[in-house]
Structure 1
Amino acid sequence: MGRRCRVPRVAVAASPSPGERSASLPEPPPSPPKERVAMARVVLVTGVSGPLAARVAQTLSENPGVGRVIGADSSPPLAGVEGIEYQNVDLHDGSLDRIVAESGAELVLHLGLDATETSDRADGLLGTLRVLGAAQRSDTVRRLVVRSNAALNADDTAEVERHVHALRRRRPDLSVAVMRLANLIGPSVDTPLTRYMHSRVVPTVMGRDPRVQFLHEDDGAEALVRMALCEETGVFDACGADTVPLSHCLRRVGGQRLPVPARGLRALRGVARHGRIGYAGASAARSVEVGPHVSRLDPAPLCAALGWAPAYSSIEAFESYAHSRGRVARGAGLRPIHVLALARATFGR
């Protein structure tokens, strides 16, 4: 780990509380020794078309030690996001290198790995490689924070972190931190997992009830801002320390479970790959299939590094989400062709 740092209190707007906090939530660890950290005058944040990155960028723009915040993405941020300069980025040209060079960015946050409905895995990995390459070639970048999606539906986490490790070997002078975010949840969150849970019929693996770790969107934004404004290096898990059974999540949001053999879920993903069902639900279904084999995240190193702990446990974060959503309209769920695919896979016909 890098040296400890003192991070100023980050003013991140909170979502409505789901109720009284759990008495079992651990108290944040003591703050590290006081040490002044030089602020970056120019900050570049990627992925600002997503709500989390836009929120982080806006919060950084309000910090008195930050002079300029540039938001880069292939589409502009949502209306109402203030304090950032938007720059359009094409992953297939040299625009990102140009933006980094011309802006003189000292701090780069790569948050462009949001798992949206239309996200493309290849483009997500390409975007990360572009950011790492631009940081390596830059004469001004001295701090890099990379979001690594530790959610169950993130297939490219290990590959992203391998590339980051390679960058640290090539540029040992560069301060690099990787933030593994658990399944992000909250009133404004829309991910493959939330859409999966809100389907009319939710396929699950027969005989399995994976336990899920969540990170409330408020805590996710604050953790990223705090990490950006200090000099800690390494890989950190950001999550609630507890876990929530998937069966509990589905009961709370009213999804109808459909237990099927694991090969039935694989058949469903095959249908999805041919465009016959939304891939978001299918990719989350894969998460359910492999869920028991996913390592549990440990937030203790992050808490020790920042002198801070998430305000929401996993169960509290999920309850906040469930309370805000209520009984919303269900997704399309499974159509006859999907049920037929499941039946064929199940009975081998």
Structure 2
Amino acid sequence: MGKVVLVTGVARQLGGRFVRRIQRDPDVDRVVGVDAVAPEHHLGGADFVQADIRQSAIGRILAETGADTVVHLDVTGTPLGSGSGSRTSVKETNVIGTMQLLGACQKSPTVQRLVVKSSTNVYGSAPRDPAVCTETTPPKSLPSGGFAKDAVEVEGYVRGFARRRPDVAVTVLRFANILGPSADTPLASYFGLPVLPTVFGYDPRLQFVHEDDVIEVLRISSHEPRRGTLNSGTFNIAGDGVLLLSQCSRRLGRPTVPLLLPAVTWAGSLVRTLGMTDFSPEQIRLLTHGRAVDTTQMRETLGFRPKYTTAGAFADFARGRGAGLLPPEALAGAIDRIAELSLRGSGHLPTQSAN
């Protein structure tokens, strides 16, 4: 008998892609996808069970399938589709859903491996953060809300499960901002705006991981480790290098509007009201202070080397978004003019271009 893999969050594109990929592995006998809504994409030969992981039914599903590997992808920052859920329902799925799933795994005699999708958001974004965060770096200030706080809580419950079930190999993957042609993340939505609001005086460093690399590292973590590697533990997952936000805007061909921090907060409320993107307080902090993580453990312990660098992941994402409002050669001057008009209106004159 081959492996039986149960995957949560399969109605999202990332979950669907992973299900289609993992079932092609020769030692996988069966894949079971679980989500509260039926996916619009196909799942290949996988079985689909419609169930809300916030409910106790997940325990019955786990027992009936006899899954030995659980890949928990239903930890996310955005509702599925437009108007399909509120921030409250997302938080409940992230936190309560994880608690229910872990409770089911704890009771299951068949579960041998657990893989959990997390985020580098757990480090927060603060002015006194270290230049590079390692897996053991404590946040200078714990995230106070939003998806980042959810991820911190989820990881806490996972650590508790690992202590109670030391016989289960537990892997937590902290992904940097996920980008790619089909990425559906808050930062991808932000970069899709025709003009990018930024915080005046800040040009944060950003790190990305390509969605193809996300699928591959999830696949590796779902199997027994190769000789010389160990795929249980907590790992930062990101492409090599960083990009400044100003570099991202130029490569997209989109102008930025540098605003004072209170105005950025107001702009965030506006775009949320318009339903354009999730411009949350945690995203504003990221676009102010940035974040970069160390990936030594990903390479040396997990044995994974991403195909895409940070710049490569962003370039592939940008190709999928099409041309921006302005050609790159005209962008720098437009940014300067927009910044000057914005700051004159606020009673402040710029001393230099923000980009």
Query: CA 1:83/1:329 → structure 2, altered by over 3 Å: closer, same or farther?
Result: farther
- Does the alignment pair 1:58 with 2:25? no
Deviation for aligned residue 1:203: 1.5
Q: Secondary structure at the match of 1:67?
A: strand
Query: CA 1:295/1:196 → structure 2, altered by over 3 Å: closer, same or farther?
Result: closer
Q: Deviations over 1:9-36 (max 9, x none)?
A: xxxxxxxxxxxxxxxxxxxxxxxxxxxx
Q: Secondary structure at the match of 1:168?
A: helix
169, 189, 203: which one pairs with 1:175? 169
Give the Cα–Cα distance (whole angstroms) in 2 for the partners of residues 311 and 90 of structure 1. 34
Deviation for aligned residue 1:143: 0.6
- Does the alignment pair 1:282 with 2:252? no
31, 37, 57: which one pairs with 1:95? 57
Q: Which residue of 2 aligns with 1:309?
A: 305
Give the Cα–Cα distance (whole angstroms) in 2 for the partners of residues 105 and 329 of structure 1. 49
Answer with 309-318 or 297-306: which moved more: 297-306
Give the Cα–Cα distance (whole angstroms) in 2 for the partners of residues 203 and 142 of structure 1. 46
Give the Cα–Cα distance (whole angstroms) in 2 for the partners of residues 295 and 191 of structure 1. 17
Q: Which residue of 2 aligns with 1:73?
A: 35
- Does the alignment pair 1:42 with 2:36? no
Query: CA 1:294/1:178 → structure 2, altered by over 3 Å: closer, same or farther?
Result: farther
Does the 8 A contact of 2:207 with 2:291 survive in 1?
no
177, 181, 186: which one pairs with 1:192? 186
Does the 8 A contact of 1:198 with 1:253 survive in 2?
no
1:78 counterpart letter in structure 2: E
Give the Cα–Cα distance (whole angstroms) in 2 for the partners of residues 189 and 328 of structure 1. 18
Q: Secondary structure at the match of 2:10?
A: coil
Q: Deviations over 1:228-249 (max 9, x none)?
A: 1125211001111211111111
Q: Which residue of 2 aligns with 1:141?
A: 111
Give the Cα–Cα distance (whole angstroms) in 1 for the partners of residues 205 and 289 of structure 2. 11
Q: Which residue of 1 aligns with 2:338?
A: none
Give the Cα–Cα distance (whole angstroms) in 2 for the partners of residues 189 and 329 of structure 1. 21
Instruction: Give the total of aligned pairs.
Output: 293
Give the Cα–Cα distance (whole angstroms) in 2 for the partners of residues 296 and 154 of structure 1. 18
Give the Cα–Cα distance (whole angstroms) in 2 for the partners of residues 51 and 149 of structure 1. 17
Q: Secondary structure at the match of 1:281?
A: coil
Does the 8 A contact of 1:51 with 1:78 survive in 2?
no
Note the residue ranges of structure 1 that are not aligned, 5 or more in a row: 1-38, 331-341
Give the Cα–Cα distance (whole angstroms) in 2 for the partners of residues 182 and 76 of structure 1. 28
Does the 8 A contact of 1:210 with 1:288 survive in 2?
no
2:315 counterpart letter in structure 1: E
Per the normalisation by structure 2, the TM-score is 0.75
Does the 8 A contact of 1:113 with 1:147 survive in 2?
yes
Query: CA 1:268/1:324 → structure 2, altered by over 3 Å: closer, same or farther?
Result: closer
Give the Cα–Cα distance (whole angstroms) in 2 for the partners of residues 228 and 94 of structure 1. 24
Q: Which residue of 1 aligns with 2:206?
A: 212
Deviation for aligned residue 1:202: 2.0
Query: CA 1:298/1:148 → structure 2, altered by over 3 Å: closer, same or farther?
Result: same
* Mapping of residues 104-119 of structure 1, within 5 Å: 104-118=66-80
Give the Cα–Cα distance (whole angstroms) in 2 for the partners of residues 83 and 235 of structure 1. 31
Give the Cα–Cα distance (whole angstroms) in 1 for the partners of residues 277 and 287 of structure 2. 16
Does the 8 A contact of 1:143 with 1:175 survive in 2?
yes
Does the 8 A contact of 2:6 with 2:71 survive in 1?
yes
Give the Cα–Cα distance (whole angstroms) in 1 for the partners of residues 313 and 54 of structure 2. 37
Q: Which residue of 2 aligns with 1:234?
A: 233
Identity %: 36
Give the Cα–Cα distance (whole angstroms) in 1 for the partners of residues 273 and 22 of structure 2. 41
1:234 counterpart letter in structure 2: G
Deviation for aligned residue 1:303: 1.4
Give the Cα–Cα distance (whole angstroms) in 1 for the partners of residues 160 and 22 of structure 2. 28
Note the residue ranges of structure 2 that are not aligned, 5 or more in a row: 125-145, 226-230, 327-341, 348-355
Q: Deviations over 1:62-91 (max 9, x none)?
A: 112111100001122333330210111124
* Mapping of residues 154-173 of structure 1, within 5 Å: 154-155=147-148, 156-173=150-167
Q: Secondary structure at the match of 2:40?
A: coil
1:255 counterpart letter in structure 2: R
Query: CA 1:299/1:74 → structure 2, altered by over 3 Å: closer, same or farther?
Result: same
Per the normalisation by structure 1, the TM-score is 0.76
Q: Deviations over 1:237-274 (max 9, x none)?
A: 111121111111122223331212222233344556xx
Query: CA 1:279/1:97 → structure 2, altered by over 3 Å: closer, same or farther?
Result: farther
Does the 8 A contact of 1:212 with 1:246 survive in 2?
yes
What's the Cα RMSD here?
A: 2.6
Deviation for aligned residue 1:313: 0.5
2:274 counterpart letter in structure 1: I
Deviation for aligned residue 1:50: 1.3
2:114 counterpart letter in structure 1: L
Deviation for aligned residue 1:294: 5.5
Give the Cα–Cα distance (whole angstroms) in 1 for the partners of residues 32 and 197 of structure 2. 42
Query: CA 1:243/1:154 → structure 2, altered by over 3 Å: closer, same or farther?
Result: farther
1:296 counterpart letter in structure 2: A
